[in-house]
Amino acid sequence: MKTMEDVFEHTLQDIYYAENALTKAIPKAAEAASNKDLKSGLEEHLLETKEQIKILKQVFKSIGKEAKGEKCDAIEGLIKETEGIIEEARTQKARDIALIGACQAIEHYEISRYGTLREWAKVLGHDEAHDMLTQILDMEKAANSKLTNLAVTEANKK
C-alpha cells in the first residue's frame, strides 16, 4: 500500500471477507442461543449481513473495483473466540450472556471498520461509497444497541 486509496481498498477487502465469514458464523451462534430474543435477533442480523454484502459489492463497483476479500485475522479471532464460548459454557443462561458479549465484540469491530472506511471515502471523494458505508455503519450500531438492551433488560438478570 502506498496511498490512501490503496489503504481504503485493502480495508474494504478486509471487511468484505469479514462479512462473508459472518454469514457462516452467525447461524452457529443463533443455533447455540436459548434466549428466544437473542436467537431471533441473530437470525435477523444474518439477513442484514447478507444485505451488507450486496451493499459492499455496490461500494466496490462505485470505485471501479472488483469485489474481493482479503483474509481478516481479526474476525477469524473473534469468531474463534465465539465458538470457544459456545463450547465452554455449561449452562444455557451462561452461554446466552457470554454469546451476547462475544457478539457485541464483533459489532464493535464492524463499527470501528465502517467508521474508518466512511471517513476515508469522504476524503477520497467517493461520496456514493461514503453514503453506502454509513448505511451499513448504522445497521451495525442498531444491532449493537439491540444486544445491549437484551443484556440489561433481561439476560443479565436471569
| Contacts with Fe ion, residue ranges (CB under 5 A) | 19, 49, 52, 110, 140, 143
CA 86 – CA 72 distance, rounded (Å): 22
Please state, in angstroms and rounded to a whole number, the distance separating the CA atoms of residues 125 and 140. 23
Q: Which three cell numbers stand for residue 33?
A: 442461543
CB of 143 to Fe ion, least distance (A): 5
Q: Give the residue from 128, 143, 149 showing the smallest Cα distance to 55.
A: 128
Is the C-alpha dihedral spanning 139, 118, 74, 54 positive or negative? positive
Burial (CB count <10 Å: 0-12, 13-18, 19+), residue 76: middle
Work out how close the CB of 144 gets to Fe ion at its nearest, in angstroms, rounded to a whole number: 8
Task: Identify which of residues 21 and 97 has a Cβ nearer to Fe ion in the complex.
Answer: 21
Nearer to Fe ion, 52 or 82 (CB): 52
Write down the least CB distance from residue 117 to Fe ion, Å.
Answer: 12
Toward Fe ion, which CB reaches closer, 50 or 65? 50
Task: Tell me the closest approach of the beta carbon of residue 17 to Fe ion, in angstroms.
Answer: 12
Neighbours of 143 (CB within 10 A): 21
**At its nearest, how many Å lie between Fe ion and the CB of residue 103?**
8
Of the pair 73, 90, the CB lying nearest Fe ion is at 73
Q: Which residue has the cell 446466552?
A: 96
Nearer to Fe ion, 14 or 19 (CB): 19
First to last CA, the chain: 49
